[in-house]
A = this chain, B = another copy of it.
């Protein structure tokens, strides 16, 4: 049996915003798994902001995505054939299969493949609330912000896969949770469906003064923890409202991924307010995944942790969906359905 794979390659490095021309859809035969390998049919591909950073050459926290190779990305799917004792055909798995329909994975490679239980948690959730984005939220909140009950936690990109989990995890810890999101629809969702205490629409506040005033109204006791997914003006506005000894977990700087310089307007506030500003990457906290996934899985299974998904249809739609993600056109976790 020869199966045909579809793959999306990075064909050129974007300058500024990516375009569909930076990607190329190709077909290739699916290789037969060798001894110790597992063949996986992908059901969903995850699109995440970190991928933009990987498309650049040069120094970042990870190796650049090589040109003319399959784009990296998280996937969930089903084992079609296994030549590794830990897996069997029919197993549902999460892994880093990339932008393609099938992958052949070394079953023994650490962190590359993990069996998941879909009796109480939908398969796609392992790419979102019970996967890398959920653990990202958990690590930034628990290990860096470390909020106490009664404190105020703010998160940007609040309707997204990471942000929605940050606020709900903060609520579960007795905090006031305030989101920042783009547009009235997303803000209503963050407040009404996710249960945040408030949400500020950054599109209605285009300058520092206006955004900072809106945050003051939403956070009458100031801000003790900020989970930053965007940087730029939003970070500047939040810093003006941080309480003494506030903690800022720096998780993403979306607009910066497109290459614009993004200065921090007033770093002296780090001193004035004795802030801790800390960057982190969830893949470097592997020791925390177990505890995080336990809380996240239980919360999703019981309906306490809610989320939304934007699902693009078919691999060919992935580049356009990714560009939309960077522009905030998605609503919730951005997935690509592959089956």
A residues near B, CB below 8 A?
Answer: 59-61, 231, 235, 244, 250-253, 256, 261-268, 270-281, 284
Contacts and interface: CB of A to CB of B under 8 A. Distances in A.
B270 A279 contact: yes
Contacts of A265: 261, 263
Contacts of A277: 270, 275-278
A252 B274 CA distance: 11
Contacts of A264: 263-264, 267
18 contacts: A61-B272, A231-B268, A250-B267, A253-B267, A256-B268, A261-B266, A262-B266, A263-B264, A263-B265, A263-B266, A264-B264, A264-B267, A267-B267, A274-B284, A275-B279, A276-B276, A276-B278, A277-B278
B272 A278 contact: no
A271 B267 contact: no
A244 B61 contact: yes
A266 B278 CA distance: 14
Contact of A250 (B59, B250, B271): B271
A180 to B, nearest CB: 17
B284 A271 contact: no
Contacts of A244: 61
Nearest to A232: B267
